[in-house]
Structure 1
Amino acid sequence: MSKIPDLADNGSSCLKIICDFSPPRGGMPSLIGDLDGLNPDIVSVAYNPGKSVRVNPVAAAAWIKANTKQDVVFTLATRDMNKVAIQSLLLGAQLLGLQNIVIVEGDGLSNRDRERFKAVYDFQPTSLIESVRDMNQGKDFRGLKLRVATDFSVGATIDMGRPSDSEIPLAVRKAQAGGKFFLAQAEFDPSVIARFRADFESHFDKGHAPPVFYGVQILAKDGIIFGNVPQRTRSELESGRSGEEIALELIQNLMVQGVRTVYLVPPIFRGGRRDYDSARRVIESARRLAS
């Protein structure tokens, strides 16, 4: 299984794509058939999208790895579990041969949510990253010795919609805590990405910044849109331009900047449905552009 930082370093001229995947709302293997033919470099298994009940991302990632031979990364949110539960789940992930993990806080709860379930937040994302680093050194959160140290490559997320003067220092702290890579949320303006990239990398010795997989969402006219979408892009989509074309144009612009690490987000529709066929076509076309 490939660790994500190693994958990013394996040939800087090669395009590396992590593709977002929503685990199904049922435990039947046939429900994961949407992955057929997708073939990114890494499948990123999301954590309960929309705060809905879904297959646990550790279980889904392990099934995908075992049955499709795809490399995987699973997402874990600090919102829902206490320290014992999280570290026990991570030992289960170790048992299943998983090595890549992305740590997020998880969406906040609305008043209606709070009537139905509770948030925990025993860890914050940065403190959980530190805790995973300790597990990799053979210690649990109480300082007790594990029988076998873990070997996780831990990553975090970057919110491109937040001001960079607060988001970049936060990302740097996560890297100092042990974060080895980042998934950036979708941003449709290449100039914003260029400025962010230059500022972020300036905080590290040259060539030693953790890899950032920059988010590219494939838009759909009737889909859910995340991030700040320029009005020009919205107008093009409304006028009939394909979301796949828009995504490929952004990927091409990123490659011109020297970016070779992309986090691809397939179209998302109301109710959680995804269009992975669209993602497959974008991946195939992007690789042709990069070859």
Structure 2
Amino acid sequence: MPSASPLRIVSANVNGVRAAFRRGMGDWLAAGDVDILAMQEVRASTDDLSALLGDEWSILHDPATAKGRAGVAIASRAGAHIHRVELGAEDHDTAGRWLEADYEVGGRIVTVVSCYVPSGEAETPKQVDKYRFLDAMSERMSELATHELAVVVGDLNVGHRTLDIKNWKGNVKRAGFLPEERAYFDRFMGAEGEEGYNAGAGLGWVDLGRRSAGEVPGPYTWWSWRGKAFDNDSGWRIDYQLATPALADAMVSYAVDRADAYDERWSDHAPVVVDYAI
């Protein structure tokens, strides 16, 4: 990929790519000037993706074992060098949840991961599975932290801090905001109040959303379809771009591309759009 203009990487939980395109995702993508599009909850086949996106996109796709569930993909204007989907032990089914790709940008390699962390459910086997995934994810992120230019993007299904959930007090015992889950993110980029938080603490990863927004609520990336959550901006910030320090320093802009109105949404998540000068 050329490096004359910033590299635009977008993370989007599409909540079913075929439904998203019926709601207007195609028009959004055509106008978005996107270089690399990382998707989660694809819930479709590779043929479906190819038909929807068109020939100008090179597509990597890891579907879930169960048809119609999860699924992660990365589409780009140029092909990837290699890609990897293995995560954790051989008996741990992480299909459709972790996809790595390496891209050459301006003579340098940028590693992009599209990740979809299980949502979990407190005090159930689903939560045990979520912790198992987060354990495997932590191990791989420790390895990826040695890469100069790497970014893990996606629906990570955890609000790291109280700033990341509108109604955090009502969710302290709910999956997505459990102390045990948030501790994983403390390991990734440091804990709130810790020296070096989001600037070299933990494994050294940088939460670009928090670096860009500062110490303010949100900006949220997910709102329930139900009720007035979207209209009232009662959301969760669970979609991230976590970058290595060198790539974080190359960020020139960050945005949550929130729809202007409820009926203009093509997913219950908003895309996270970051431009990097590489």
> Which range, TM-score by smaller chain?
0.3 to 0.5
TM-score normalised according to structure 2 size: 0.40
TM-score normalised according to structure 1 size: 0.39
Higher helix proportion, which one?
A: 1
Q: Based on CA coordinates, which of the two structures has the bigger radius of gyration?
A: 1
Higher strand proportion, which one?
A: 2
